Amino acid sequence: MEILKNSLIILTTSIGLVFIVVTAVGLIRLPDVYSRTHAASKSATLGVMFILLGVFLHFWLIKDEVNTRLLLGIAFLFMTGPVGGHVIGRAAYLSGVPMWKHSVKDDLGPYLKEQKKAHRQSID
Amino acid sequence: MKTNDVILQTTANIVFFIIFLFSIHIFFAGHYAPGGGFVGGLLTSSAIVLLLLAYDLKTISTALPINYVVMTAIGLLIAITTAAASIMFNMPFFTHAYDYYDLPLLGKQSLHSAMAFDLGVYLVVVGVTMTIIQTIGADD
């Protein structure tokens, strides 16, 4: 039983660690801001959530103490991490950071142009 | 041009309550665990700052009609009252007292007068932080 508990804790913590390493590699290797926020927001959130789950399991199974703050932290990260990535990417797009030169599709650009035109007409 | 902030605003609405409840927890846990009035006050004001980032200053000041200067004054008043209350019982300034009470729902708990002092600290920290941020953010 003890071995099972320990291996569960080690498994969750190592999965989290692998995801964080993947994040770091993605931040170095990916070409532009948008793909880098994609790497940072998704896999870093999942990695930290797995590590927090491992810490929660350690305190619960080994130390016999249910720490609800860790569960709250997991829920909080699950909600806020991707939103942080979204806001960074959106701010970058709105301030005109160029996309990677091999990008093929840009749906937000024409929509924003239309909005700007409508805004200008409403002023005039 | 007006930009579309639906995702940020919806998340801020939900996350505000989590941060606020966590700050209350930190405030009450301060006697036996890390935390207390200062950290709790900073967390509360950071929850309000999150709402200020997602919405604008006018919306938040109508949704939370609090005068933060008055809040700071009330906090200082609470702190000085709890510190001075011990003089009435022929004890030195700042002497605290505690006793055990049977509270409904919560059972036997110790109530300590340092909690009231901490409440003063909490109100002062929230008031001062929000005053600083609102006065810097409001000059347009």
Instruction: Identify whether the C-beta of residue B127 lies closer than 8 Å to the C-beta of residue B79.
Output: no
Please list every residue in chain A whose beta carbon sits closer than 8 Å to the beta carbon of residue B22. Answer: 69, 72
Chosen for mutation from A74, A80, A113, A123 (greatest number of chain B CBs closer than 10 Å) is: A80
Please list every residue in chain B whose beta carbon sits closer than 8 Å to the beta carbon of residue A76. Answer: 15, 18
Q: In this complex, do B14 and A79 lie within 8 Å of one another by their Cβ atoms?
A: yes
Question: Considering only CB atoms, which residues of chain A are within 8 Å of chain B?
Answer: 69, 72, 75-76, 79-80, 83, 86-87, 94, 115-116, 119
Domain ranges of chain A: 1-122
Of A69, A76, A83, the CB nearest to B7: A83
Instruction: Identify whether the C-beta of residue B113 lies closer than 8 Å to the C-beta of residue B98.
Output: yes
The predicted-structure confidence for B104-119, as pLDDT tens digits, reads as follows 888 888 888 888 899 9
Per-block mean pLDDT, blocks of 10 residues, chain A (124 long)? 92 96 94 91 94 95 91 93 92 88 85 84 81
Q: pTM value? A: 0.85
Please list every residue in chain A whose beta carbon sits closer than 8 Å to the beta carbon of residue B1. Answer: 115-116, 119
Q: Rounded to an integer, what distance in angstroms lies between the CA atom of residue B137 and that of residue B130? A: 10
* 3-class state of residue B97 by DSSP: coil
Range of the domain at B90: 5-138
In SS3 terms, B11-38 reads as HHHHHHHHHHHHHHHHHHHCCCCCCCHH
Please list every residue in chain A whose beta carbon sits closer than 8 Å to the beta carbon of residue B11. Answer: 79-80, 83
Q: In this complex, do B11 and A79 lie within 8 Å of one another by their Cβ atoms?
A: yes
Per-residue pLDDT 10s for chain B (140 aa) are 567 789 999 999 999 999 999 999 999 988 888 988 999 999 999 999 999 999 888 888 898 899 999 999 999 999 999 988 888 888 888 888 888 888 888 888 888 888 889 999 999 999 999 999 999 887 65
**ipTM of this predicted structure:** 0.80
- Determine the residue of chain A that is closest to B21 in CA distance: A72
Q: In this complex, do B11 and A80 lie within 8 Å of one another by their Cβ atoms?
A: yes
Q: Rounded to an integer, what distance in angstroms lies between the CA atom of residue B24 and that of residue A43? A: 31
Chain B: closest CA distance from residue A91 (Å) = 11
Instruction: Identify whether the C-beta of residue B76 lies closer than 8 Å to the C-beta of residue B120.
Output: yes
Number of independent structural domains in chain B: 1
